[in-house]
Structure 1
Amino acid sequence: MKRRLLGLCLFLGVCGSAAASNQQRELDYAASLRQIADMGHAVWLNAGGQRFLALFTEAEKTDNSQAVIILHDMGEHPDQQPVAHGLRTVLPRHNWTTLSIQLPLREIGAGRQDYYGLFDEAQGRIQAAVAYLRAQGAKDIAVVGYGVGAAMAAYALSRDPGGLAAFAAISLPLPESTLPQVQIGEFIKNIALPFLDIYAEFDLPEVVDTARRRRMLGKDNPVYRQIRINGENHAYRHDPMMLIKRIYSWLALSLGPN
């Protein structure tokens, strides 16, 4: 009997830790990101009683009325090269204030499935980011997510789309899972915002192989658009400016200039 109880306790302990974010990794990233010398400055936000880092960069020529929340890929940080860094530093030159936030992390080596339990925590951080941008004067707020960050954004929009005006998903996967947090196909069908689904020609299989399915799921949304970036893979290192240009051009068409 004692052995069975011990086994149950161990099982519950493992299950509980599976949904816990790795705060030490976040602090390690924060320590290095506070030393960044280029555009923007670090701010600390709070969600669910936990502080997390974000990089805030104001638009160069206008006020902060149009803003973008940037969500990095799995296991990364708000200045992830080249995608998150490029977006957060280039979009302000095109009149978009940016807030690139630290998403919850798992331990080094964790896989995509290990991140599914963090989606609720990510939703809280997105809501905190919206509140921060509102306090800075933002009226139109878009969210741009990359990889797992895009999946987290889709989940957050499925739960509470309030406060967000557009969604750009970079390399959005459709995971094979029964977990409610990652029913991305169902989320796509219900997103009524301007929606850009952008991916690379040589992206991950769960992105490339599901591109047509995502397009069919979004067909009832008149402001859904899908774009493939030729010659790139999931990292977008060959010509990251092409990706960034596609996004700021789409933002201008979808939400208009200030």
Structure 2
Amino acid sequence: MPPVYRLALPALCLSLILPCAFSVEAADPAPAAAEKPADEKPVERQPLLERSQEEAAALERKIPVQEQQQLQAGSDTFLALWKPANTADPKGAVIIIPGAGETVDWPQAIGPLRRQLPDAEWSSLSITLPDVQSDVIAPRIVEVTPPPKAPDAASKDSTTAAPIEQAAGGEAEVADKAIAETSDEQVKADAERIFARIDAAVAYAEQQSARSIVVLGHGTGAYWAARYLSERQPSQVEKFAMVAAQTPVAAKPGLAELTPTLKLPTADIFYKDKPLDRNAALERLQASKRLKGSAFSQVSLKALPGDSKAEQEQLVRRVRGWLNPQAAAN
């Protein structure tokens, strides 16, 4: 064999052996992958907390532990703050229901009332409401006026413009109807969750041997409380107070329809300086006058935007006077 071929032969053999070695090494991890348990599942993400749950968790680090109560409503566990009355003979318990975006210790109405009512011989129990989903899918309430057409375009496209506009209008109506139906269903779902929490609060107040139970709602919390009392009519609740009441965007019926149906003494506390609140309060008052034997009363307050402390003290005094009319008279 010539010398040239004798030198080239080892290089040729090496070039054939190396790719085979690499292919074997690459194939080695396969058996390890095959040994992975077949029943192993991918790690599931924990569901995100609701905004109300996150805020409650933050409050748990600030509020004294002895005031905190974890109440159960169906599958929901929620934070409530309990302060017993500062007397050996309490008059009862006030269940305080915050409005949308408010916590169990909100600086307007909720916190001042829950902390100071015990000095008026009433225990207080403020509760956390779940996030209301119905407001997110509320139907449209504002219609946008379409821009005017150019004269020449109107003359050229007059035969096709009307059918297109009618079709677009029909699609919008169908979409709005679907949104409204979905919103109604979500309002019912929201109501059931909220009612379950108020039920749990009433049960807790009973466990504390409350002689009388009063429900007080602030903002949209007043609406949900009124709806709860109208639909459930719990015999344990003897009085109801609304403070700066508001009806959620997607909720029906409104407060003016709900309040006359309540079969217990009801106080409607509103701020007369705010035109919208004043007009809504007047509507509720007129609706109550149409019924005989109505136990509906109103208390007007003056807003003090420059002095929040004085404004909250004014509210606490009015609520205490309504709860303890004899003491207020003296």
1:225 aligns with 2:272: no
Contact 1:65/1:137 (8 A) holds in 2:
no
Structure having the higher helix fraction is 2
Q: What's 1:55 paired with?
A: 81
Counterpart of 1:3 in structure 2 is none
Cα deviation per residue 1:54-74 (whole Å; 9 max; x = unaligned)?
A: 000000113455000001121
Deviations 1:69-124 (A, max 9, x none): 001121111000031000100000010000000011248x9599889452221111
Q: What are the Cα deviations for residues 113-136 of structure 1, in whole angstroms up to 9, with x where unaligned?
A: 889452221111111100001001
The residue aligned with 1:30 is 56
Deviant stretches of 4+, over 4 Å = 37-40, 109-117, 174-177, 235-238
- Residues of 2 paired with 1:223 and 1:58: CA distance? 28
Note if 1:139 corresponds to 2:220. Answer: no
Q: Is the 8 A contact 1:64 1:136 kept in 2?
A: no
Q: In structure 1, what residue type is equivalent to 2:206?
A: R
Query: Does the Cα contact within 8 Å between 2:91 and 2:210 map onto a contact in 1?
Result: yes
Superposed, 1:23-172 pairs within 5 Å as 23-37=49-63, 41-64=67-90, 66-106=92-132, 116=187, 118-162=190-234, 163-172=236-245
Name the residue aligned to 1:209: 279
Does residue 194 in structure 1 map to residue 220 in structure 2?
no
Tell me how many residue pairs correspond in the alignment. Answer: 230
Which structure dedicates a bigger proportion of its chain to strand? 1
Summarize deviations over 1:137-189 as a string: whole Å, max 9, x none.
11210011001000000000111121211000011235676x54x43222211
TM-score (norm 1): 0.78
- Alignment partner of 2:302: what SS? strand
Q: What SS does the corresponding residue of 1:188 show, helix, strand or coil?
A: helix
Contact 1:150 1:172 in 2 (8 A): yes
CA distance in 1, matches of 2:201, 2:275: 28
Q: Which deviates more, 185-194 or 153-162?
A: 185-194
Q: Which runs of 5+ in 2 are unaligned?
A: 1-47, 140-182
CA contact (8 A) 1:64 1:138 kept: yes
In 2, distance between residues paired with 1:247 and 1:213? 22
Identity of aligned residues (%): 28
On the 8 A contact 1:64/1:137 being kept in 2, the answer is: no
Relative to the length of structure 2, the TM-score reads 0.62
**Contact 2:223–2:255 (Cα < 8 Å) also in 1:** yes
Q: 1:37 to 1:77 in 2, by over 3 A?
A: closer
CA shift in 2, pair 1:225/1:135, >3 Å = same
Alpha carbons of structure 1 residues 105 and 237: separation in structure 2 relative to 1, 3 Å? farther
Distance in 2 of aligned mates of 1:251 and 1:165? 11
| Whole-Å separation in 1 of the counterparts to 2:226 and 2:108 | 22
| Structure 2 CA distance for partners of 1:204 and 1:146, relative to 1, 3 Å | farther
| Distance in 1, Cα, partners of 2:297 & 2:311 | 21
Counterparts of 1:225 and 1:237, CA distance in 2: 26
| Greater gyration radius | 2
The 2-side partners of 1:255 and 1:52 are apart by 35
Q: Which amino acid aligns with 2:242?
A: A
Kindly indicate whether structure 1 or structure 2 has the higher relative contact order, using CA contacts under 8 Å at least 6 residues apart. Answer: 1
> Aligned partners of 1:74 and 1:254: how far apart in 2?
34
Q: CA deviation at 1:239?
A: 1.4
Does the residue aligned with 1:166 lie in a helix, a strand or coil?
strand
